[in-house]
Structure 1
Amino acid sequence: MSNKKSKIQYPFWYGGAASMAACLVTHPLDLAKVRLQTASKPGQSLIGMLYHIITKDGITKIYSGLTASLLRQATYSTTRFGIYEYLKELYINKTHNQKPTTGVLLPMSMIAGALGGLVGNPSDVVNIRMQNDSTLPINQRRNYKNAFDGIYQIIKNENISSLFRGLSPNLVRGILMTASQVVTYDIAKTQLIDKFHMDPSKKNTHFSASLIAGLVATTVCSPADVVKTRIMNSKGSGQNAISILINAVKHEGIGFLFRGWLPSFIRLGPHTIVTFLVLEQLRKFKLGM
């Protein structure tokens, strides 16, 4: 019976589909987070930034760059969730249904996160540029029509290497995000089931585990996320991650590393919750299987 259970293989795209669904809910918050991280002066609140965007640019602008956000989840999240689940399944089958420990899950998640960061980097560059475009002077705006136009324009007007700008901090962020998010979710879910006797099939179990995962992921990823955003939004000043980090801490203080933490959590918390709730429902109904 247990051997039969271990052979259930869910589609590779489940994680990406769940993340894209979450993206539709949290995109305005992600937009505000990017604007806060690239602001020259700290201090504005998330609500203040959203209000500023709506009053200055119009309510439809809170979904600026949505196509790039969806493409990012389709590439980045599909890869990291798919590879993580594949490696877990491989381990379980090899060890005759032995549950992987944290020490096993962490390297799996790091590999998955790095590959996800690599695959998703081009769409991430376009995503950040599209979200931040209206804050630039009119003569400096890129005016990408959509994510695919953005990728085409970058290759045409810059070079293909620009699609991998900020790759180092993005790989670091992909590793940190996947390790902190999916591993924390797996561990939290197991603890809630084993120690608090929560029902593994209930949404409140999934909600609680994903909330914990979102909190941990936001804190762990904040420094890499801020540096990554600065690099991708730059116009090719030649600065690398380390020089941007040193310069920013020198002029803006150590708090720069956690700039926009609250909006990051307000975005990543719901994003993580919706992602795992949708993912669990996809698994429950075996959609596409």
Structure 2
Amino acid sequence: MSNKNLSKKDKVGYWYFGGVASAMAAACTHPLDLLKVHLQTQQKKEFGMGGMFLKVVKNDGILALYNGLSASLLRQLTYSMTRFGIYETYKKKKGANLPFYEKAAVSMVAGFIGGIVGNPADMVNVRMQNDMKIAKELRRNYNNAFDGMFRVVKEEGVLVLFSGVSMTATRACFMTFGQLAFYDLFKQTLMQTGFFSDNILTHFTASTGAAGIATLMTQPFDVMKTRLMNAKPGAYSGLAACGADIMKTGPLGFFKGLVPAFIRLGPQTVLTFIFLEQLRMNLGYFPEQSR
């Protein structure tokens, strides 16, 4: 039996589909991610999202919106491939009808591990995106993600690749909970109403809801992670020092860039799950044939 003749329920995604889908989505939403990083690293609120967009384009050209794209793609092919792979593999092993609390637990573990695996690419990604904001003589000018990681190891030591890893892993833990577990919950709930079927409208609706949950849960971690990764060595003694610096502008400083974060994470999440579902439906395999 060919894949084309299989029903949707018979098709199962390969473990790496999540990483591939995330990388495809990142290629589409990278400019939004770059603007979010620029907004979060402002000490004072000088620009909104529109103003930051105009500033970047005016100073460095339209292609500057894609600074750090190679690192962003590498991040998804490490971080997201790990978390999706663990989560989907566990679901397949245990069966489709997992209770939500079990999905929540495994998604958080998967996210934590993925955050550690993806931290080097994530750190280089933040640096490459933020490079244009600093004086030209101080810019790092990494050629690509691999050049960035090589130079970090050579010039600063391998441990610097894991700057902010505790915050990255913690954020990834809640991000994966908000995205994967809640996507499954929203999708299942929608389909149980009888008004939705397993189609792109359901995928879009469920992923939008998951994006909203994930954004609210992770924004404080995201702000601190960005600060820690972009800081000069020794700028912060730890998480507490970073948090205290952010608090100078008040508690809302932890939610700086919330709207652009959702504007970026919303499309990223929606496109990831739409691409993922399409990969499953068109390139998935029949379990009995794979034995």
TM-score (norm 2): 0.92
Q: Which amino acid in 2 is paired with 1:254?
A: P
Q: How many residues align?
A: 279
The one of 52, 57, 70 aligned to 1:54: 57
Note if 1:139 corresponds to 2:137.
yes
The one of 200, 204, 224 aligned to 2:201: 204
**5 Å matches for 1:83-232?**
83-92=86-95, 99-200=97-198, 202-232=199-229
- In structure 2, the partner of 1:73 is 76
Assess if the C-alpha contact under 8 Å between 2:175 and 2:217 holds in 1.
Answer: yes
More relative contact order in 1 or in 2 (CA 8 Å, sep 6+)? 2
Assess if the C-alpha contact under 8 Å between 2:121 and 2:149 holds in 1.
Answer: yes
- In structure 1, the partner of 2:289 is none
Matches of 2:30 and 2:9 in 1, distance apart? 36
Assess if the C-alpha contact under 8 Å between 2:41 and 2:227 holds in 1.
Answer: yes
Corresponding residue SS for 1:252? coil
Matches of 1:37 and 1:196 in 2, distance apart? 42
Q: Using a 3 Å threshold, how does the CA distance of structure 1 residues 67 and 182 change in structure 2: closer, same or farther?
A: same
**5 Å matches for 1:264-283?**
264-283=261-280
C-alpha deviation, 1:247, in angstroms:
2.4
Matches of 1:271 and 1:17 in 2, distance apart? 13
Corresponding residue SS for 2:43? coil
Runs of 4+ deviating beyond 4 Å: 5-9
The one of 30, 37, 41 aligned to 2:44: 41
Matches of 2:280 and 2:154 in 1, distance apart? 41
Note if 1:13 corresponds to 2:13.
no
Assess if the C-alpha contact under 8 Å between 1:88 and 1:108 holds in 2.
Answer: no
Assess if the C-alpha contact under 8 Å between 1:83 and 1:112 holds in 2.
Answer: yes
Corresponding residue SS for 2:130? helix
Assess if the C-alpha contact under 8 Å between 1:79 and 1:115 holds in 2.
Answer: yes
RMSD of aligned Cα (Å):
1.7
Matches of 2:148 and 2:45 in 1, distance apart? 28
Matches of 2:9 and 2:88 in 1, distance apart? 12
Q: Which amino acid in 2 is paired with 1:132?
A: N
Q: Deviations over 1:114-149 (max 9, x none)?
A: 110010000000000000001112222111000000
Note if 1:234 corresponds to 2:231.
yes
Q: Which amino acid in 2 is paired with 1:216?
A: I
Matches of 1:165 and 1:65 in 2, distance apart? 18
Matches of 2:178 and 2:20 in 1, distance apart? 20
TM-score (norm 1): 0.93
Q: Percent identity?
A: 43
Which residues of structure 1 form unaligned runs of 5+? none
C-alpha deviation, 1:239, in angstroms:
2.4
Matches of 1:80 and 1:48 in 2, distance apart? 35
Assess if the C-alpha contact under 8 Å between 1:228 and 1:241 holds in 2.
Answer: no
Q: Deviations over 1:137-186 (max 9, x none)?
A: 22221110000000000000000000000001101111010001111100
Q: Deviations over 1:79-120 (max 9, x none)?
A: 00111101111211xxxx5x0111110110011001100100
Q: Which amino acid in 2 is paired with 1:122?
A: P
